[in-house]
Amino acid sequence: MTDNPFEELRNRDVEKAEKQSKMYEETIKQLQTEERFLNFFKGYNPQSVESFIKYYAQRKSDWYANADDRLRFRLRMDNHYFEEAMELFNEIFLKKLFDMKCRWVAGEMDLDGIESSVDFINFANDPNSCTFVEPITQKELDCYMQFKQLKNWVPSNRKKLEFDEEYDDEWASCVAPILYYHNQQSCFIENSITHIPPWFYYYDTWFGTAYLLDLPCRRTDLEEKYNDIWEEHIHPQTLSPEYLKTRKYQSLAMRKLHYENREIRDEHIKKLNEAYREEHKNDPKYIHLHVRNKEIMDELVHNIESREVEKYYHATREWERRLEGGEEIEMDVIYLQELDEFVPINSNNDFRVAIKEAHDQYEERTMIEILPYIFDNYRQCIKNGEEFDWGTEEGKHKHSIDNRKKILEARVWKGEPANFDFLKKENLAQSS
């Protein structure tokens, strides 16, 4: 194993080529010498047998060399809709996990397996080990299935912020609020609310849990004080003097001041921008060079390459341009071809949009139909005391490992024990 991913990829390609070459030679020898093959070839034109042996050996070596990739693809095709439905089912658990985090952060209770706020994300990857989240109920499944059948549902009570449009992708993720919401609240970051996805709001309308978003962040407030110490006093010791000259870390106290006073914040930003422009006013006006910049590449190839290379370049560009439009729907077409039923398709001036919409609608309908079967299996596993296969990869999340380390190092820097006892419910009052 190497730390260089490109070298690892190259080594894998070399190994694959060697395996393919060995299989080709062995197959040629078998076809030319072993009695079972010689008997099979009797009655066929000898010249065709000679060419057949080469082509067959070539094909067989390809089967073996690419077997893992193609078997994985076949498995992906067979399990696609089930795996997608499993991800949807997991979103119900993630909402319940988030609600428990809201209560834990507020200091309502201690929880098994939770020492700090970042530990919750580990249970997102390993729901079976989470003992404090109650099992998913039929009513919760009904709620989720109804939500999925609504089109573009937007909560009426969702808070609107000036930064909203920048975080649309994050807003759609059910993992994002578990990772970021409470810590960003404690960091006085205004856009933390944008990490709450529509599904979480919809669940709240059924179960009256909207109030959880407004609970105090007592435990993450304490954690962020230690993160602030780490950023101000510990992390700088690992940085070079050159980097420290340009590093601009905004302390927790400063972020709080800006959060509570917009005029001060705006004036601070204005001064930073003015200082940056003054510092760089004499810098050369460079243009960023990148191979994906078509205009630059056209000029470069035309001026420094031969006419033959330029012809190949433009031929490749044309090929890439054609692929760009079809790549997005390529898998949609493959999945649709695998179906043994007719799928309706709406008329559209762009056939790619029509194909994508047809598959998206089929996929969404199919996943909703699969959810009750997944739920039945889930309940049966609980009843039998068996582990349910969530289809997730277990393991400690890097975000959890890194943030725990920072807090403990800051505790030691302050002369305090390297543990999380300060976050226990019994100690919260004196820690605040």
For 358-384, the pLDDT digits (tens) are 878 888 888 888 999 999 999 999 999
What band does 118 get if pLDDT is binned at 50, 70 and 90? very high
Task: Specify the range with the lowest mean pLDDT, choosing from 98-112, 340-354, 369-383, 400-414.
Answer: 340-354
pLDDT at 165: 42
Is residue 389 within 8 A of residue 120, CB to CB? The reply is no
What band does 193 get if pLDDT is binned at 50, 70 and 90? low
Is residue 197 within 8 A of residue 173, CB to CB? The reply is yes
49 three-state secondary structure: helix
User: Residue 114: pLDDT above 80?
Assistant: yes
Tens-place pLDDT, residues 328-364: 677 777 777 777 778 888 888 888 888 888 878 888 8
Of 383, 396, 32, 414, the C-alpha closest to 232 is: 414
Task: Specify the range with the lowest mean pLDDT, choosing from 78-82, 366-370, 428-432.
Answer: 428-432
Mean pLDDT of the 31-54 span: 85
pLDDT at 8: 67
Is residue 288 within 8 A of residue 281, CB to CB? The reply is no
Which segment, 61-70, 282-291, 381-390, 395-404, is predicted with the most confidence on average?
A: 381-390
Q: At what angle do helices 67-105 and 138-149 cross, to 10 degrees?
A: 110
Torsion of CA 290, 294, 298, 301, to 10 degrees: 40
Of 182, 37, 163, the C-alpha closest to 103 is: 182
Helices (H), 133-211: 138-149, 168-171, 176, 182-186, 198-207
CA distance 305 to 316: 15
pLDDT at 180: 87
CA distance 334 to 326: 12
pLDDT at 214: 92
Average pLDDT, whole number, for the chain?
Answer: 83
Residue 307 φ/ψ, nearest 5 degrees:
-65, -30
User: Residue 30: pLDDT above 90?
Assistant: no
Joined tokens for residue 97: 């996990």
CA distance 176 to 47: 65
CA distance 109 to 196: 23
Residue 398 C-alpha from the chain's centroid:
13
- Tell me how crowded residue 397 is: count the other CB atoms within 10 A of its CB: 20
Q: DSSP label at 158?
A: P
pLDDT at 171: 43
pLDDT at 377: 92
User: Residue 170: pLDDT above 50?
Assistant: no
Scan for tokens 């729907």, then name that residue: 329
pLDDT at 160: 44
User: Residue 248: pLDDT above 90?
Assistant: no
- Tell me how crowded residue 232 is: count the other CB atoms within 10 A of its CB: 13
Is residue 234 within 8 A of residue 409, CB to CB? The reply is yes
User: Residue 181: pLDDT above 50?
Assistant: yes
Q: DSSP label at 210?
A: G
The tally of CA atoms less than 13 A away on the side-chain side of residue 70 is: 6
Could you tell me the pTM of the whole model?
Answer: 0.70
Task: Specify the range with the lowest mean pLDDT, choosing from 289-293, 302-306, 310-314.
Answer: 289-293
CA distance 261 to 269: 13
CA distance 297 to 294: 5
Task: Specify the range with the lowest mean pLDDT, choosing from 94-103, 222-231, 315-324.
Answer: 315-324
More confident residue, 107 or 16: 107
Tens-place pLDDT, residues 195-247: 788 899 999 999 999 999 999 999 999 999 999 999 999 998 988 888 888 78
More confident residue, 13 or 304: 304
